[in-house]
Structure formats: structure tokens, C-alpha cells
Amino acid sequence: MNLIEYIQNATKGVVPMHMPGHKRRTGLAPYLEELAAHIDVTEIPGLDDLHCAEGILKQGMEKTAALWGSRRAFWLVNGSTCGILASLYACVPPRGKVICARNCHRSVYNGLGLLDAMPVYIMPEFDTETGISGPVSVQSVEILLDKNPDAALVVVTSPTYEGVISDIEGICAAAHRRGIPLLVDEAHGAHLGFGSGFPGGAVRAGADIVVHSFHKTLPSLTQTGALHINGDIVDEREIGSALAVFETSSPSYVLMASIAGCVDLIQERGGELFRFWRENLGEFYAGTERLCRLSVKGPAWLRDDSKIVISTACTDMTGTSVSRALREEFRIETEMSSVNYALALTGMGDSAESLSALASALLRLDKAASLAQVRAVPAPVLPGRAMGAAEARRKKSVAVPFGDAAGRVSTEAVWAYPPGIPLIVPGETVSKELIELIELYLSAGVALRGTAGLQPGMLCVTADQS
């Protein structure tokens, strides 16, 4: 069985409550069906060059900037990751200081490691009932900016994987008062600001750099996105040069055609399609009001409710068991699951039928569930920093059992994937609380990953215990 056949077999008859946002509905976006080998070309005359765009690609990026309201937009074909890496590379000097939310994606940490930069962490709010990180407060950013006036950049993720939105306008104002740019990882929010039912986006809130993944919620192929620049603090030439380092020198015209088609679709039919999406979400939430044990209300923060948080906190089920039941009993595949919740991502490609199928399945699972005492998920504790990540990676390391790792310095990053937010990064000291949190995740069936492979029950630490 080849890869195409394997994919077709694995997805046949399955309701996709996960990204990408097109949900394999080629009827919605006919251009997706046309994206095949016959347009898989290279930079031949007339087809422009992504890294030195002067023609059709330049026009497409200008249209993208106009649609989202940014000063300049760069297309991304290596996902949001390359946009984040390029932004850090362009804005942060080697060993520079970066104020960043602790719940940033691992691509931020990888960029910091490459630059041997000094991270100063903002701890977001945390909901112990679901185990979901909350927004970053303006006050917490203000405090760290006052303590670190030499910071080169502020980095925030909004919306988060679960849809939590921070006050980007307020954070932006705080950073700009000190002449410091703000980078917003808005990978999960390319749709924000379109239509009356979604919260506003970071571009129009004034963030200097905003990175989007189009494929997460919009009808575009995986790996596609855009990097937006606003204002005059960030040098767009530096961003362009950095993208030439981190983005492939052979950009796929299949992916770029997908971006172009998506932008055209939003420009031509966006109002109608975003309205349908909102109406379908409204019907889903109305249809799940009868849930008695499970909940889809989510924590009481400002959220993008296109991310459906299925809380199991008050039941005898875990998020992973709900995801498994949806998969095995109802042929519905969620995006991810954790200890006390599962996450269903919706996109423009969802239909009334797909959301109705999810609502019906949850109502049936709700009847089978039993009420139980709330399982609190402890808030992550910020580990102590013994050395920089780059230095820790160069150290000789050994794998030790979790129980023996307390007090040692980690040489690997450990994260739950998805979404890829590290629990610990190289150079940080392993605490007893961290070990207990890792064991809690593993006991609930949450998938953990590590840069060193994360052997079962083991953690890589520096060989030198001094």
C-alpha cells in the first residue's frame, strides 16, 4: 500500500474534527482538488521567485496584506515554524534577551536556543480544572518590561491551541511605550477578525509581527501560512533575509497555489463562509446545552470558541478516553487530548453535518459517563535555570529514571504533542513537581515527546552532577 492509498484508507468515512481547516471538502474549495503534479513546478520564467518576488507572487502577497490589514505580508510554505524562527533571527541579537510567554510553541524555544538567547518567562494564568493555560496579562508583561528594559522582543501566543486570547492591544501598547516590538504567534487564529462572531486578530490590534498558519482553520494545504509586519519598528528587509535562511529555497508551487486560492476565496466569499461557520457553531453549542457531565463551555476567559474544549474534569472519563471513544465508536477524530479535556478544532471546511455528528456523539457519551470528584491538574511550576539551552545541549548526558532526575539539569526538552509546549527545556533543573506532572500526563495516556526521544520512564540530564 503506497502513501496515497494509506491516507485514503485511514481517512475513509472519518469525521475530521482536527486541522487542516478545509476538512477534505474539495466541493467547498475546488482549487484544492486541482492541486496536483501538473502544477508542481519550479521558478521558471513568468512564475516569479518567492524570495525575490516581483510578479505574480508579489501581487498575491500584497493582496494577502490588504485582506488582513498589515503593512507587508510574506507567504510561508514551511509552516508557522519558519516564520517564528525568522522573526527571532531578525529581531534578537545573539545572547539577546526575549520576554516570552512560557506556553509558547517549541519553535520559539528552538529559535531561542539557536541564538543562545536569554528567555524571560511570562507565566500565563492557569485553570486547574481543565489543565489549560490562560491568557497573558498586560500587568505581567509591564512588570517584566520594567525589569528588563534591554529586552529585544516580546513573544506571546494568542489564541492558544485551546482558543484562549490575550489582550494583544494592551500588551502591544506596553511594549511600544518602551520601543520594543511584539511578535504574536497567531498560528491558530488566521480567521480572527473576519465576520462578527470571531474575536479580533493581532494584526489590527497593532502587533509588529503576526505569524499565521492558514491550514489550521482555513481552506489551505498543510504548511501554508503568512508572516505579517505592521508599523516601523521591525525592518521588513531583515525579515525577508531571515526567511531566506529558514524557509526552503525550493518553495512548493502547489502550496503557494493553495495560499493564493485561499486568499481569493476569502476575498470573494469570505462574508458568506464565515457566517455559515458561525451559524454552524451556534447550532452545535445550542445542541450541547443538555450535557450534564461533560462540558463544552471551556474556561471563562476570552476565547475563540471555534476550538471546542470537551471537559471531562467532573466525570470518570479522561480527555484521552473521550477521544478514544469518539474515534472507535463514532469515527470522529479529535485534534488532541489531555488529562481533563479533549480538543476538537473546527474550520471553515466544517459543515452543519460534521458538527451535528460531534454534538450527537457527545450527548451519547455524556449519558454513559458518571459524575466524579474534580481531578485538579497542578499549574506548571517554572523550573530553575542552571545554564543556557545551547550549553546544556553540548553537555554529555545520561538517561536516568524519573525518580532519580530531581535536582539534575535536563539536556532535553519535554512536551505534550500536540500542541508542542515544553514542560522543561535544556538547561533547566528538574523538580519533583515536574516529575509528578509528567507522570500524571503519562498515566492519563497523554503523548509526551522529547528531543532525545524520551525513553519510557527516563529523562536525559547532564552527566556531571556538580
Euclidean distance between CA atoms 360 and 409, whole angstroms: 48
Q: What is the DSSP string of 261-306?
A: HHHHHHHHHHHHHHHHHHHHHHHHHHHTTT-SSSB----SS-B-TT
CA distances 154 to 29, 117, 203, 308, Å, are: 37, 13, 15, 28
Q: What is the largest CA-CA distance in the chain?
A: 66
pLDDT for residue 25? 84
Enter the C-alpha cell of residue 369: 459517563
Mean pLDDT (10-residue bins), the chain, 466 residues: 67 87 83 72 85 94 98 98 99 97 95 95 96 97 98 99 98 98 99 91 98 97 97 97 97 91 95 96 97 94 97 96 98 96 97 98 97 91 92 92 91 86 93 91 87 78 83
What length does the chain have? 466
Q: Which domains does the chain have, with CATH numbers?
A: 30-266 (3.40.640.10), 270-368 (3.90.1150.10), 389-462 (3.90.105.10)
pTM of the model: 0.93
Enter the C-alpha cell of residue 405: 532526575
pLDDT for residue 7? 65
Asked if 313 and 383 count as a contact pair (C-beta separation under 8 A), the reply is: no
pLDDT for residue 32? 79
CA distances 91 to 101, 181, 249, 279, 395, Å, are: 17, 8, 22, 41, 28
Pairing of strands 153-157, 182-185: parallel
Which residue from 349, 161, 382 is spatially nearest to 273, judged by alpha carbons?
349
pLDDT for residue 2? 59
Euclidean distance between CA atoms 346 and 88, whole angstroms: 30
Q: What is the DSSP string of 425-445?
A: -TTBBP-HHHHHHHHHHHHTT
Pairing of strands 307-311, 448-450: unpaired
Asked if 28 and 349 count as a contact pair (C-beta separation under 8 A), the reply is: yes
CA distances 100 to 85, 193, 233, 234, 362, Å, are: 14, 24, 18, 17, 36
